[in-house]
Structure 1
Amino acid sequence: MTQPLVVGTLVGNPRPASRTLNAALALREAVSHALRLRGEEVTPNGPLVDAADLAPEVFTPGSTAVRAALDTLSTADVLVVASPTYKATYTGLLKSVLDQAPGGWLRGKTAVPLLVAAADKHALAVEVHLKPLLAELGASVPGRGLFVNESALAADQTVLITELGDQLAESGWFTAPAVAAR
């Protein structure tokens, strides 16, 4: 019998409990739903790391908080990685956390990148910047990166989950064997 899939979440917003976190949790739910539709069993509420909680430790010599958070996230089969768009890319906080990941940290994992921005002109940043970063860490990123305009974050969480689920379907996620072999 195979183990249930674990969907983890990493949020790179420097603001704790941010709208980006809410979008990431909606995407985690949409990913879990898509996997269940494929007949996969999914563990509810996989590991969640809000990088804002790690910010004081990111550059503290000898701190083990970031490494412990990365170890926790490494238990996920699918990892949602979300960030607000800062200066046409992801946040420095997210980059600083991921810079502490060992080479190949996401090998054998599937990553689903998500960027949130105030303007649609930033929609391509997820493809140009975040998706390659996750691939560099060894992740399989089989579909297009997802983008959410901040205006959509005012919607009910159920509406956002549906909208992100539609984006997953339209972008080719989980229609083929998208989850790396366990």
Structure 2
Amino acid sequence: MSIVTVVGNPRPGSRTLGVATALSSAVAARAGLPEGPVFDLAGFGGQWLGDLASDGESALAVAAEASVLVVATPTYKASYTGLLKAFLDRLPGGALRGTVAVPVTVAAAPTHRFVADLQLRPVLAELGATLPVPSFVVEERELPDLLALAERWATGHGPVLAATAGALAAV
């Protein structure tokens, strides 16, 4: 079992990547799960709109096999990014069955705090993911406290993620 991270920010090396990897590391430490690969979709050169590159095919396969999948996006125009949408659209229905997913968003304002729950969570559920814990949402003004926020979230929810992933793996 491992944690796989997918980041749908169109800028390579983004703050969203920092938030996602901080959370993945904190969950790994608290839940006793190894950290797996991190896919920064911006690094695939925007090829999601045309032919899917071999790196993209690999990312899709690894994401579909993850025990815990951290899916992160900034809030763009009150939604998740088109880059992440294009990635998720390439997964066949039910591809995330047996995977525990954690929606993660970086919000510019308090009014964007609900994008993960209102838009990203239903898409992941439609793909078959199990979502037993709250989304991890960080407002831009909270970024200086990121590590403490990730640790607190992981302390409260990491054991549930590990237990759920273990139960799904046993089925």
Q: TM-score range by the shorter chain?
A: 0.7 to 0.9
Aligned length: 167
Q: 1:15 aligns with which of 11, 17, 22?
A: 11
Q: Could you tell me whether the CA contact under 8 Å between 1:67 and 1:101 is conserved in 2?
A: no
- Work out whether 1:181 is the aligned partner of 2:145: no
Against the structure 1 CA distance between its residues 87 and 104, is the aligned structure 2 distance closer, same or farther, given a 3 Å change threshold?
A: same
**What TM-score do you get using the length of structure 1 for normalisation?**
0.83
Which deviations, in whole Å up to 9, do the C-alpha atoms of 1:7-66 show, x marking residues without a partner? 010000000000000000001012112212xxxxx22x3011111012431122364442
Shift of 1:103: 1.4
Question: 3-state SS of the aligned residue for 1:58?
Answer: helix
Q: Could you tell me whether the CA contact under 8 Å between 2:31 and 2:158 is conserved in 1?
A: no
- Structure having the higher helix fraction is 2
Shift of 1:160: 2.0
Q: Could you tell me whether the CA contact under 8 Å between 2:71 and 2:103 is conserved in 1?
A: yes
Q: 1:95 aligns with which of 62, 72, 85?
A: 85
Name the counterpart of 2:76.
86
Which deviations, in whole Å up to 9, do the C-alpha atoms of 1:86-134 show, x marking residues without a partner? 1111101100111011211111010011110111121111110011111
Name the counterpart of 1:135.
125
**Unaligned ranges ≥5, structure 1:** 37-41
RMSD: 1.9
Shift of 1:150: 1.1
Question: 3-state SS of the aligned residue for 1:74?
Answer: helix
